[in-house]
A and B are shown apart, each in its own frame.
Chain A
Amino acid sequence: MAIMNSVHEVLRRGSAIRGNVMWALKTIGLLFAQLLTAVTIAFLLIHAMPGNPFEIMLSNLLRGGVPYQQAVTLAEIMTGYNPNVPLFIQYFQYLWNFFHGNLGYSMLYKAPNIVLIAAAAPWTILIVSISLTLAFIFGYYLGLIGASKRGKLDTLINAFSVIFNSIPSYMLALILLIAFGVYIKILPVAGLYDRGLTPGLNIAFILSLLKHLTLPVLTYFLILFPGWAFGTRNLALSITHEDYVTVARARGLSERRILSSYIGKNVLLPQLTALLFSYGLLFGNSIFIESMFAIPGLGYLLSAAAGARDYTLTISTFLIIIIAVILGNFIADVTYGLIDPRVRGV
């Protein structure tokens, strides 16, 4: 009997491990399929662009006095493709270049696209992560309090979520710009740090950076926090009628205790997952906020490149943003799978 039990145990563990491996393989396979699709979309978009980056680059080089054969080779390297070879070979060239970190050459900034993107990404990541984290924490607590008190606070959360749901981010940024640029001149409205400061870990630079980041972060924060408050409140309300909450109340625990350890913790898991998923999508929103506050991040790069018709830079930035979203979702998926075994099908 004991032997049978241990055999069962081993089999059960084996199938659990197999389930885990299958789940991991499936998730990674899906990730690759998504990445490939994103690169394919980028390739198709480059071809849909009016004018031809290769020809533009070639004529530029020829005008610069480069011999023809050399110019063709250079243009091919710089734009990452050659329109004179069959389309599917171009496609594989593009894929090859992409996986080797060659995303073409920017006509606008006269530098490789990948270098420009690598320089811009940290700012976007910094602003997005600060504002989203702040909005999440504030919204979570506000939502919990709203669920326990109802009444006035509830109406307030509702009103906030309606108002900030309907204001486009650029209009909110414009209002803040007018308020702080024209009327209350206490905060800088453009750029990342004061002129004459060298970026680095010195106090003057960091203070200046924080000052410059206040308005963009505030814009994001105002747009984001009502959503988190609303979601947390609804989730918390749906839990207040669960049996274990009633039991806890019957045991005479304080409302505060019930709120923090019985309701709060159960709301936190789904909300944290939602938080992980939402990091990626914010990169799209950064276009307005960065171009209005003149922050040299990914969104600014995208709109500047599109405005100057620098096609390969536009598409490359777009591709990197999509990849950031896909990777963000992948990390969220994996984390969720690790926290909650039901997802893995174990």
Chain B
Amino acid sequence: MTPDTTTGDKTAGAVAGGATRGGVLKGGGIKGRGSGRPGGADRDSAGLSLTLRGLYRTFGTTRALDGLSLDIQPGEFVALLGPSGCGKTTALRIVAGFETADSGSVLVDGSDISAMPAAKRDMGMVFQSYSLFPNMPAIDNVAFGLRLRKLRGPDRHRRALELLDMVGLTDQARQYPHQLSGGQQQRVALARALAIEPQVLLLDEPLSALDAKVRLQLREQIKGLQQRLGITTLFVTHDQEEALSMADRVGVMRSGKFEQVDVPDQLYANPRTAFVAEFVGTMNRLPGTLTSARDVAVLDSVLTVRAGAADGLAGDVDVLVRPEGLRIKAQPGGNGIVTDRAFLGSVSRIGVRLCGAVAVKVDHPSAHAGDFTPGASVQVSLPAEDAVLVAARP
């Protein structure tokens, strides 16, 4: 295997270099484009809207999609996030045309493409597994879709080289897939998907087979290209960090439907359900009791939560709070004992066992975390504004 010699700097340079050219895909003039496509007219790099309308799909007795609906704006980058089996990949495959929905429809730029075969949808797709054609060098892989579109040899070659340059792999143009590292293969796959000027770019966990460093580089590269080309993108992942850092909006899925579709910071700060709260980021769950419409007894004190936070709840509740939402200070005879401490860079994550055997994680600036050694007595408190209330677990 050839080591991935292309560094993050080179990658960034390639993206920046492409940007100065104003985008290689514009004005490429692939023959036959514009006719017979959903929406009809030619388009520039602004992207097309994508709509999923009431998608249902059942495999045997398992309902993979349960009335999934989503509107994606032109040029928007939306991530589908959820645990294994939540239906996110099924949704993507239905959009790509590899699966058929039991009911519901997929619209591109307002036109229903549900009955259209995958080969006619103009959806660029990057797969989780390495999907390059092993018998072709990188440049032929990229040119494959152009060849099917009857682009002439010299033009095809030039455009394939431009796309390889865009992903920083010009030097590897003549190498076969087995001579490329995993990260390089996925970049060629990305160039191949973009070569056909797809209506929508579909990414099916393209980074999950890569190691952490390459994943980070490729994540930035994909996001940079998507922003520059303005291509509507649907990205499936089970990695919340990827979803939150790359997408304009993230749809958190569970059991075939959305729990919440929102921009990343809202998803993190204001999760609408306990599932979203606990799936996205690290969340502490503290037992509490509602003593009035907005007062909840938790951690030996009574908090007045924000209006609406306790709507529909009564009696025993669970209070959800992020590690950075809890306060901690060293205090003999406090309400908790430090169990562990992990250095995360600027903050340290401190594990505390509270009275009643409740374990919580508290983030504290590393510069001031020296006192919180395992066994130390601490006082953990909770500001009211950070509390999210949900029904207590049975």
Chains A and B are bound partners: no
